[in-house]
Structures are given as C-alpha cells and as structure tokens.
Amino acid sequence: MSDIHSHGGADSSAPFAREFSALGDGIFQLPTDYPEVCNAPLWSYLLVSGDQFALVDPGIRSTFAATLSGTIDKMGLNLGGADLLLATHGHPDHSGGQSSWKDDAPRARIAAPLVDAPWVESFDRQWVQFWDDYPGTIDNNPSREFLASLCVPEPKVDLLLRDGDEVAMGGRRLSVIETRGHTWGHCAFLDQQTLTLFTGDAVQGRGIRSSDGTTVFAPLYVDVAEARWGLLRLLELPFEQLCPAHVAPMDRDAGLSFLGESLAFIDEVDDLARTMVEQSAPSPVLTRDLAIRIGELIGAKPPLTPQTAPTARAHLYQLAREGILDSAWVPAGGSNAR
C-alpha cells in the first residue's frame, strides 16, 4: 500500500465512506476525509476497552473535525475517553491528526515510532530529510504549503515506540513490530486480544487506485532490503485480520496474499532496475527515468510522482551497494543519477 501525499485534485463531490464498520471484539474501521482532501482512501482504526479507546493512524489535521469526532459520538463513546493516539509512521496522513485531539482529549497519549518521532514533531525536519531530497528528479516545493497544512501544528510525542514494546490501553495490549522500509522507523501493531494486525503502509501491494479512479499511487519505500525485511517479519506473525491504512481490512488468507503481492512488486521493480542498467551501459541510469518506468508499470498518471521517486532511488542505491552501479551526480540538465 502506498503512502499518498500529493494532492490528487479529487472532485469534492466524489462519494466516500462516511460510516464506521465493526470488525469484531471492540475494533472498528473509521472513515476519514482523506478521499476528499488527497483523492485517496484512508481509514483510522479504533480499539475499545471499557470507556477508553485507542486510535491507530488518526488521519490528517482536519480529520478529527471532518469525520472522527462525529463518528465516535455516533458510536456512543466520549471523546475524552481517547487514551492512546498511535501513528504507524511519521508521514502527515498518519500522524498529522494527532494534535487535533488536544482540546477534547487533553490526556490522550501521543505515540509514534522512535525513529520517526522527529518527523512527527517537526514538519520542517521531515521536509528537509524526505520531501525536498530529490533534486533533479522531482520538485515537491509547489506542494509544501499544502503538505504542511495536513500536519501543522505538530504534536509532542509522549510515548516513543520501539520494536518489541508492549503498549497497554485499558485491558488491551498492543505489540509493536518494527517494519522499516516505507520509512526508517515504520512500525506495525498487533492486538494481542484479537490478533488483528495494523500495518499502516508497510504492506502496499502493487499500489492503490485513487478515489476518483484516474490514477494509481505506487508503493513507496526508501530502502529495498528493509522493505523486504519488514514484509517477511509480518508473514511470520499469527495474525487473523490484517488492517492496512489505505486498503480495506482482510482476513488471514487475503492478508497473506497481499503480503506476497507486496514482496513480488519489490522483486519486479528490482528486475526492472537491473534490466535498465544492462540496457543503458555505459550511460548512467537516472533516478527520474526509473521512477517514470515504475509509474508506467502500475498505471500512475503522471508516472513521475512523490511515490515513484523514493522507490526508484531505493532500488538504484541497492544496486550501488552491490557494486553494480556507482552512485554519482550527473550535472547535465540537473539530473540526479543517484
């Protein structure tokens, strides 16, 4: 499943799910406003324990007022019962909504993975380290103000999550599983009571179709080996239900298939990158060119996107580590050959 960050220009009248869904044993799938704001599906997951509840990936800054507060009221829960607001990683569509709860649930704990916490707490830091890190390949500067609006003001993280941690919320226990690859600190959460696995954007398949059906958002990962490692870790877990952020929940069999599809995509792009190197030699392989090929592969329109650029660079860096490529800058035309 890809992380969706570019403004897709969705028709504001396009329908999207406004109703919550009960997934069993006190777990609910809640709608967000992300289909309207960014033209992509996105859900938040609520776990109830007595009069308390936790939210996994509470959307962007506007999501609390747009959907979550009304939905939770409709469910008969008190907003002040929010005990834990967890982000699987530091991208705005997963952590941007955490600070929106401060007035209605001032005692709610803000939780985020240790490595991604600096991004959760500082959009400027995230901008420099991620969004503005592809000179010559893609320029995200025109979207900076929009991206900032999804997550600023930022929260202060109360609870830093590490691999192997167990987080308590009432009578529930969530296991923290590090699944680096999509970001350097991405984590998944396994509810020990129901064996429901919340995977954020670790499991991305071959990408996700936009809400209006006009494009596909490509799987995004910043490191090939780490992305594979994270998926293989999830395959070993005894989950009974898999809940990604941008894809509808699925049972174990479908979840295992989705994990396999995600691994197969990484292998497919790896083959594509190696073929491009063979066919281009001795000329350089540009990040931009591979990003475009990835976009064409999955039907992204346009093919060069904030999702395909990081994934392309991750694969070229992997080939450089193997000694197949030399990582270098190509100044002609300002192209980035890393």
Beta strands, E only, the chain: 21-24, 27-31, 43-49, 52-56, 82-86, 109-113, 159-161, 166-169, 172-178, 187-191, 196-200, 208-209, 216-217, 241-244, 250-251
Q: How confident is the model at residue 17 (pLDDT cuts 50, 70, 90)?
A: low
* Mean pLDDT, all residues of the chain: 92
What is the pLDDT at residue 242? Answer: 98
Q: Tell me how many degrees the CA angle 184-187-188 measures, rounded to the nearest 5.
A: 150
Q: Is the dihedral of CA 247, 250, 254, 257 positive or negative?
A: positive
Spatial CB neighbours of 216, under 8 Å, sequence gap ≥ 6:
206, 207, 208, 209, 210, 298, 299, 300
CA separation for the pair 268, 248 (Å, rounded): 24
Judged by phi (left if over 0) then psi (alpha if -120 to 50, else beta), residue 79 lies in: alpha
- Number of neighbouring beta carbons within 10 Å of residue 322: 9
What percentage of the chain carries pLDDT values higher than 70? 92
The span from the first CA to the last CA of the chain, in angstroms, equals 25
Query: Does the pTM of the predicted model rise above 0.85?
Result: yes
Instruction: List every span in the chain annotated with CATH 3.60.15.10.
Output: 21-265
Reported as a single tens digit per residue, the pLDDT across 111-129 is 999 999 999 999 999 999 9
Please determine, for residue 18, whether its predicted confidence score (pLDDT) is greater than 90.
no
Would you state the structure tokens that stand for residue 309, as one six-digit string? 């650029």
Over the stretch 128-139, which tens digit does the pLDDT of each residue have?
999 999 998 999
| Phi, psi dihedrals of residue 15, rounded to the nearest 5° | -75, 150
Choice among 194-203, 243-252, 326-335 with the minimum mean pLDDT: 326-335
Closest CA to 196 of 6, 8, 23: 23
pLDDT tens digits, residue range 141-193? 999 999 999 999 999 999 999 999 999 999 999 999 999 999 999 999 999 99
Instruction: Render pLDDT for 29-81 as a digit per residue (tens, 0 to 9).
Output: 999 999 999 999 999 999 999 999 999 999 999 999 999 999 999 999 999 99
Tracing tokens 């320029």 back to the chain, one arrives at 139
Task: Measure Cα distances from 256 to 43, 127, 305 in Å.
Answer: 20, 34, 28
Beta-carbon contacts of residue 203 (< 8 Å; ≥ 6 apart)? 1, 231, 234, 242, 244, 247, 255, 258, 259, 262
Residue 336 pLDDT > 50, yes or no? no
Query: Residues 6 or more apart from 299 whose CB is under 8 A from it?
Result: 207, 215, 216
6 pLDDT more than 90: no
Tell me if residue 262 falls in helix, strand or coil: helix
Residue 337 in this model has a pLDDT that exceeds 80: no
Predicted local distance difference test score (pLDDT) of residue 327: 80
Mean of pLDDT values over 6-11? 33
Is pLDDT of 4 > 60? Answer: no
Given strand 241-244, what is the order of strands in its sheet? 166-169, 172-178, 187-191, 196-200, 241-244, 250-251
Give the tens place of pLDDT for each residue, 270-312: 999 999 999 988 888 999 999 999 999 999 999 999 999 999 9
CATH of domain 21-265: 3.60.15.10
Q: Using the predicted structure, report yes or no on whether residue 316 has a pLDDT greater than 90.
A: yes
Taking alpha carbons only, the member of 271, 289, 188, 285 closest to residue 235 is 188
- Identify which has the larger pLDDT, 2 or 50: 50
* Strand (E) or helix (H) holding 260: helix 252-280
Asked if pLDDT for residue 14 goes beyond 50, the answer is: no
